[in-house]
Structure 1
């Protein structure tokens, strides 16, 4: 039986930004893509903010990064 098979791995990373959740996601995905080959997607598993004196000072996301394993 001939066919194409793909196996992917999922790894979790945390990314932080002092701008926004969107920026934290971008930072995390760009960093993952610079280290891992064949990054296919990311799932935002969790989000949190850091607060100082009643103001948000940083946004953090937990990402599950999916990448395809090479043969």
Structure 2
């Protein structure tokens, strides 16, 4: 009985382990904004950008407050 349980357990582990492969990396989404910057927070590296130096007003007070809170928390 122990051998049967061990064999079934091994079979399940082998079958589930083989199906855990990584899928292809998806394409970046298209962004319709006039200006954006995507930056890695840890390294500071710019990952994507479109008109990064263009000055634009924030879209809402909520976003301005979120930026304010994050800035002062750092």
Same fold (TM over 0.5): no
Higher strand share goes to which structure?
Answer: 1
TM-score relative to the length of structure 2: 0.24
TM-score (norm 1): 0.24
Which protein has the larger Cα radius of gyration, Structure 1 or Structure 2? 2
